[in-house]
Amino acid sequence: MKLTATLAVALGVIGAAIAFSQAVDPSKNKQPPDVQAPQDPGEAAVLAACKVQPPARAGARGGGRGRGPAESAPKDITVKEIPGVIAAGQTWKVAWEASGNNSDGIIGTKDGGILIAQNNNGNIVKLDKDGKASIAYSGLNTSGAVSMNKKGALFVNQRGLRASILELAPKRQTLADMYNGEPLDCLRTVLNDLSADSKGGAYFTMGGVYYASPKGVVTKYGNVPGSNGIILSPDEKILYVTNGPVLVAFDVQPDGSLTNQRDFAKLEGGGSGDGSTIDSEGRIYVSTSAPGIQVIGPDGKYLGIIPTPHDVISAAFSGPGKKTLYVVGWGGFNNQHDWIMTIPMLAQGYKGRAK
């Protein structure tokens, strides 16, 4: 079956009504929109004080959307079977949408909903299983990806000037904001994706792969200049990171350090990897600009793609039995519109943590 433009537009209208009624769309926010560090007029002074003056800032989708081609009408797609993952003929539904760069780094919640980081207003939105949106956390410094570890500690990337990884629960406190004695801003790239471990630390991407220990000490590992989506395996023994059209893997040591960087799988269709999630069988799901969700087996075997009507940047399992896949689609005028879309799965998300 195909998701037609007419059906998708109708679903989009429903999603928009939900968003506006909950007053979480940036256009309804009375506060001025948050900006990421590159758009902050104070960034130049901060960077001028950095000891090391590297080349010009590296770019990333999470670091701000450029003036890409305007995309409004969804693509007609056909979902094919991937054994054990998804049945043929499944269709995407729009659960929520918002204008702006306002849906990134999603994770599932215990009640079958998701948490969504909003760049443009510094909020984290809770979208419940029925599509009702509410503000779960506010007052953040341009919130980016969110991650929750196995013990329930919740973290968020703050992408504004004076970038940091902030713990939101159980206690609101900064985990890390410095690297080699200087602000994270001195890396001159935007704090992007996040995967928290059970030790109380967090792995993140920022023009490379980094680990913030439970004490907030940040260490860089490997050589992954195109790093983006990052996710731990269910047993936390492997860390997966997207690097353009390649999925990279590291072995995780007992102290959280990383070794044995290797190319784990190649993404198909010319797509560049963005966000990642994982299921109970250890399969990795990577959102790409192909567009679609590319599925990789725990042995590195490419299993197929779940096509999407829009380019997608983030994915997470949630819903009843954790058998619904949520994704963030983006596009529209100047790529400043987001859609939260869902599709039923045969596969089940890993239940040991939120994502």
Judge whether 353 lies within some domain: no
Domain CATH number, residue 297: 2.120.10.30
Contact 293, 278 (CB under 8 A): no
Tell me the per-residue pLDDT of 32-78, one tens digit each, with 9 for 90 and over.
457 787 778 888 888 888 987 755 554 433 444 433 444 557 888 99
Task: Give how many domains the chain has, as a whole number.
Answer: 1
The single residue listed with the structure tokens 């909950």 is 22
Tell me the per-residue pLDDT of 150-178, one tens digit each, with 9 for 90 and over.
999 999 999 988 999 999 999 999 999 99
Name the nearest CA neighbour of 229 among 257, 264, 179. Answer: 264
Judge whether 349 lies within some domain: no
Judge whether 352 lies within some domain: no
For residue 333, the number of C-alpha atoms closer than 13 Å in the C-beta half-sphere is 1
Query: Looking at residue 72, what is its pLDDT?
Result: 58
Judge whether 265 lies within some domain: yes
pTM: 0.87
Q: How far apart are CA 314 and CA 319, in angstroms?
A: 16
Query: Looking at residue 89, what is its pLDDT?
Result: 97
| Segment 190-216 mean pLDDT | 96
| Segment 133-154 mean pLDDT | 94
Confidence band for 332, pLDDT divided at 50, 70 and 90: low
Judge whether 210 lies within some domain: yes
- DSSP SS3 for 8: helix
Judge whether 311 lies within some domain: yes
- In this structure, what token pair is assigned to residue 262? 């290797």
Judge whether 351 lies within some domain: no
Domain ranges, residue 212 = 5-344
Residue 305 burial (C-beta neighbours within 10 Å; 0-12, 13-18, 19+): buried
Q: How far apart are CA 134 and CA 156, in angstroms?
A: 17
Judge whether 247 lies within some domain: yes
**DSSP secondary structure, 250-265, as one string:** EEEPTTS-EEEEEEEE
